[in-house]
Each structure stands twice: as C-alpha cells, then as structure tokens.
Amino acid sequence: MTAWRQAGLNYINYSNIAARILRRTLKPEARVEAAKRDESHIRFTPWTNGKPTHEK
C-alpha cells in the first residue's frame, strides 16, 4: 500500500499537497508564475435528456 493511501488520502489530495509544497520551494521569481497554477475554476453544466441545459 502506498504511503499516501496509508495516511488516509486519495491521489488527488496527495497530488495537491505535493504541488503546493513544491511551489513553496521555488525561487521567488518562479514562485509567482507557479502560484497562478494553484487556482482552479470548476463549471458545472446540468444535462437533461442527453443535452446540456443552460440555467440563467
């Protein structure tokens, strides 16, 4: 069993933690650019009868 699984994490959580730690170790000029990748946006589209429905 992998260490991250033994710690009670799923792979996504483990990966996010590792990426955050790596970004903290970068030099300041590279850290600013890498910090932009830390943000993510999720958009949900509901589907009805096999077609996306657009809620307003």
Find the domain containing 26 and state its range: 3-52
Mean pLDDT of 4-17: 87
Q: Dihedral angle at the C-alpha atoms of 16, 19, 21, 22, nearest 10 degrees?
A: 170
pTM: 0.53
Sign of the alpha-carbon torsion through 42, 47, 52, 56: negative
Residue 46 has pLDDT above 80, yes or no: yes
- High-pLDDT (> 90) share of the chain, %: 7
Q: What is the CATH number of the domain that holds 35?
A: 1.10.1620
How many folded domains does the chain comprise?
Answer: 1
Q: Is the pLDDT of residue 26 over 70?
A: yes
